[in-house]
Structure 1
Amino acid sequence: MNLKELSENLGLSQTTVSRALNGYPEVSARTRKRVEEAAKTYNYSPSTRAKGLATGKALAIGHVIPVSSRHEMMNPVFGDFITGAGEVYAKAGYEMILSVVADKDETKVYESLKARRAVDGVIVHGPRIHEPRIALLDKLDLPFAVHGRAVGGTRPYPWLDVNNHAAFAQATSYLIGLGHVRIGLVNGLEDMDFAHRRRTGFCSALTTAGLTPDETLMRSGEMTEVFGYHSTRELLDQPDPPTAIVVSSMISALGVRRAIEDRGLVMGEDISVVTHDDCLSYLQNGNETPIFTATRSSVRDAGRRLATMLLDTIMNPDHTAKQELLEAKLVIGASTGPAPRKD
């Protein structure tokens, strides 16, 4: 049954029925109850488009993903985030519009979404240290929330981020406490805000312990298994290789482990590894005993939280922008142990 048929059955206008189903206060409680009971009886559910016409909203959230060799967004981390956000959208009656575009077309896509009123807001993924999209969305007056944070924008903006600096400082300090003094870093792309903060946390912990950060022990790149593998091979080839490595991704950590095992070394004995674990649905860090010692923070939960934040921003545009900093938890696994003694 469609809206027209339901309206005719009730002897009411389509506008009245639509307003009753969307909770407009000018519709009497008696009429609203009658309409809701009829909708339930006839198994009628208004389409998103119909709801949008009634409320003046698109009832859709946009996710614009640039296709670039410098963005590894289409991976399990992104998938888990989208799943968490999607759960919130569905419960609130919103749809998701996912646009995968060439980098050069990204600005035009945001402008088009705004001009066509295709979405009520957008999530910004993978912010750089100085993120141009923040100023752009401010200028367009298009509600947004950032997964991460960055310098930029003309006003406070909604964001949700992991305390990357603190997480990597804690991971590095833990290794130092085990006696490691030669510690490597296999990081993400350091023009990305999260990777920059992880590097500063790593270096800060070394400096605090009286150790000098060594650039020759640091690698930065796309967080892939292959990158982790080749970076670790390079580190182990050095005359004075590291006895421990801090890694920015579970995916990269798999490559780190492969390189260690290729050398006939034992992870957790000959060389220790601490990674970041996003609690991925299809890439679990072991069962009861974690494979890797890790700084842990659920990216699916982050998706839920940020989606809720954006919907609140859309509904209450005059409220102060919400910002949330999540603390990662250090979990101890089998990949770390005391620094090996030198003969």
Structure 2
Amino acid sequence: MATIKEIAKEANVSPSTVSRVLAGSSKISPETTKRVLEAIKKLGYVPNANAKGLVVKKSFTVGVFVPREPENAFLNSFFDQVITSICAVVNNFEYDILLAISNPEKERELLKRLVESKKVDGFVLLSSREKDPAIEYLKSIDFKFVVIGRPSGFENSVNWVDNDNQKAGFDATEYLIRLGHKKIAFMGGPSDLVVTVDRFSGYKKALEKYGIQPRSSYIKFANYYKKSYREKAYEILNQEDRPTAIVCMDDLIAIEVFKVAESLNLKVGKDLSVISFNNSNVSEICQPPLTTVDINILHLGRLAAEVLMMDLSESTKTYRRIIVPHQIVERDSCSKLQML
């Protein structure tokens, strides 16, 4: 008997389009529907009752989950870029996107509502936390999803795409050390974010390798608010024995460090070296241009979407783990330590 894939090939459409036609979707054009039905007739395809029932239950929608308060969800351009690349992939499979935004306290409730209402076939989670309730919930009900970020505690039992953030944190810190800096601060995001944990671990390993003792006053963690970034940056920079360099969790934090440095009459790139992560658009246009670790955000989103679409099309469970390479983009915010 012919398969859906064979029907799709004959009609020159995707398998998901064939599934939509079988489900009676109104989103498929009359011309395409006619072509698919003709292919079905030509190849003698007869869907069995169980398979047809499963097809009808599909929503052809992927949920993209942003675990942030709505008012702060898109302060960080990481989310804009990664969602753009996810959309490009799922649209090629003729799936739609449902954007789900919730503060961490209510995320399980939101996911449960979307799953039970059958509004989505799978999720892309855009970050991960220690003891992540979203991962724990979706795993417990065997719902299909992929995580952008290392799923702490579930590394071998869920799909995920990430950078080697411990190595990235190490590389960023070592870059500053090789410029002669020893008084190096670290400014992270929320301390329960796995990406913060991993980059901070890399920072500490680099200091340890070069025999540099970390200072507690040089290490700060902020929440998602710009005000918090500024407050923590001020605490780091307004010390009598201030650091000469700082590793920032991402470009957004780095920009707030720039502002605080200026208020303290410190020149970034001369009095203070700053390196961050993401290589967002703002890193090129700020003054001075920001040295940053390019984590290939678009690639992360594309691969995560492709992994989920493969998972949605397979009946057998295969867990995929993909590590995306990173590289330091050198600009003008870092310089060799000036010995006085």
The interval holding the TM-score normalised by the smaller chain is: 0.7 to 0.9
**2:7: which partner in 1?**
none
1:28 aligns with 2:42: yes
Equivalent runs, 1:33-52 vs 2, <5 Å: none
| SS at structure 2 position matched to 1:106 | helix
Separation in 1, partners of 2:232, 2:38: 59
User: Which amino acid in the other structure matches residue 193 of structure 1?
Assistant: V
TM-aligned CA deviation for residue 143 of structure 1:
0.3
1:110 aligns with 2:108: no
Scaled by the length of structure 1, the TM-score of the pair is 0.79
**1:312: which partner in 2?**
310
Contact 1:135 1:152 in 2 (8 A): no
TM-aligned CA deviation for residue 135 of structure 1:
2.6
Task: Evaluate the alpha carbon distance shift between residue 215 and residue 22 of structure 1 in structure 2; reply closer, same or farther with a 3 A threshold.
Answer: farther
Task: Evaluate the alpha carbon distance shift between residue 236 and residue 134 of structure 1 in structure 2; reply closer, same or farther with a 3 A threshold.
Answer: closer
| Unaligned 5+ runs, structure 1 | 1-13, 32-50
TM-aligned CA deviation for residue 252 of structure 1:
1.1
Task: Evaluate the alpha carbon distance shift between residue 66 and residue 328 of structure 1 in structure 2; reply closer, same or farther with a 3 A threshold.
Answer: closer
1:204 aligns with 2:202: no
> How many residues matched?
306
Superposed CA RMSD: 3.1
| Unaligned 5+ runs, structure 2 | 1-20, 25-29, 46-51
TM-aligned CA deviation for residue 242 of structure 1:
0.4
Scaled by the length of structure 2, the TM-score of the pair is 0.80
TM-aligned CA deviation for residue 189 of structure 1:
0.8
| SS at structure 1 position matched to 2:242 | coil
Equivalent runs, 1:129-208 vs 2, <5 Å: 129-153=130-154, 156-208=157-209
| SS at structure 1 position matched to 2:271 | coil
**1:11: which partner in 2?**
none
TM-aligned CA deviation for residue 188 of structure 1:
0.8
Contact 2:124 2:145 in 1 (8 A): yes
TM-aligned CA deviation for residue 139 of structure 1:
2.1
Task: Evaluate the alpha carbon distance shift between residue 320 and residue 244 of structure 1 in structure 2; reply closer, same or farther with a 3 A threshold.
Answer: same
TM-aligned CA deviation for residue 240 of structure 1:
1.0
1:232 aligns with 2:233: yes
Task: Evaluate the alpha carbon distance shift between residue 133 and residue 317 of structure 1 in structure 2; reply closer, same or farther with a 3 A threshold.
Answer: farther
Contact 1:273 1:292 in 2 (8 A): yes
Separation in 1, partners of 2:156, 2:336: 47
Separation in 1, partners of 2:212, 2:312: 48
| SS at structure 2 position matched to 1:211 | coil
User: Which amino acid in the other structure matches residue 312 of structure 2?
Assistant: I
User: Which amino acid in the other structure matches residue 332 of structure 1?
Assistant: E
Task: Evaluate the alpha carbon distance shift between residue 320 and residue 183 of structure 1 in structure 2; reply closer, same or farther with a 3 A threshold.
Answer: same
Deviates more, 1:247-256 or 1:228-237: 228-237
**2:74: which partner in 1?**
74
TM-aligned CA deviation for residue 142 of structure 1:
1.2
